[in-house]
Amino acid sequence: MAEPLDLTEATRRLVRTADGLSDAQYAEPSRLPGWTRAHVLSHLALNAEGLAGALAGLADGEPATMYASDEARDGDIDDLAGQEPAVVRDRLLAACTSLTDAIASVPEDAWDAELERTPGGRRFPAAMVPTMRLREVEIHHADLDAGYTHADWSADFSASLLDSAVERPGQAAFVAVPTDLDRRWESGSGGPTVRGAVADLGWWVTGRGGGAGLHSDDGDVPTIGAI
């Protein structure tokens, strides 16, 4: 399986943004509470490393998890975010390259195998890795608050977030109707109909934006938990 073109392009955009930040901007707040831009980029670097390691283990016949534990993952993000910006930049670029190589190295007959996030933790199909990584890159690129926003997302990507949202267990009930796309999504039953641009709807179902740009038939836009 080759790396999808949209992931390749999304990664290039992310790296350009990271390269364009000054050292001082790395220490400034991101859109994520309690995280600087360095934290967001460190998370993206470690996420790529984790996925690359899990895929490499699959290709080598030696199963490996993405992270040793959630605590180790959180600590590693904090540690990397505390390094010089050049270290974070280099780690991000190297990790993105490693993931591209890992995706290319997996035998075609191994993509149906499952990977583990942490030992004994959540499992997911290896074939989901490119999609999972694309979502990480696009959502967190917007979280950087560095010029790239959810308004820059493609309609297909925004729609994919809505596809996932309505399948999420315990999701709030709603009907989402984009004003710029001939589709609709329904989560649960009895919820309000929420309308707006598909990008605004996609941002909302990631738990971001507070419903800005959206309106509902009963005046109440449900709160969605952040992902």
State which H helix or E strand residue 140 sits in. helix 129-143
Per the prediction, the chain carries an average pLDDT of: 95
* Total Cβ atoms within 10 A of residue 70: 11
The owner of tokens 């989901």 is 128
Question: Which tokens is 103 given?
Answer: 């995706």
Domains contained in the chain, CATH given: 5-148 (1.20.120.450), 155-216 (no CATH)
- Calculate the CA 95 to chain-centre distance: 15
State which H helix or E strand residue 19 sits in. helix 5-20
pLDDT digits (tens, 9 = 90+) for 72-121: 999 999 999 999 999 999 999 999 999 999 999 999 999 999 999 999 99
Query: 184-192 long-range contacts, Cβ below 8 Å, gap at least 24?
Result: 191/222, 192/216, 192/217, 192/218, 192/220, 192/221, 192/222
* Amino acid, res. 181: L
CA distance 29 to 39: 9
pLDDT of 1 > 80? The answer is no
pLDDT digits (tens, 9 = 90+) for 150-179: 999 999 999 999 999 999 988 899 999 999
pTM above 0.85, yes or no: yes
Average pLDDT, stretch 184-188? 96
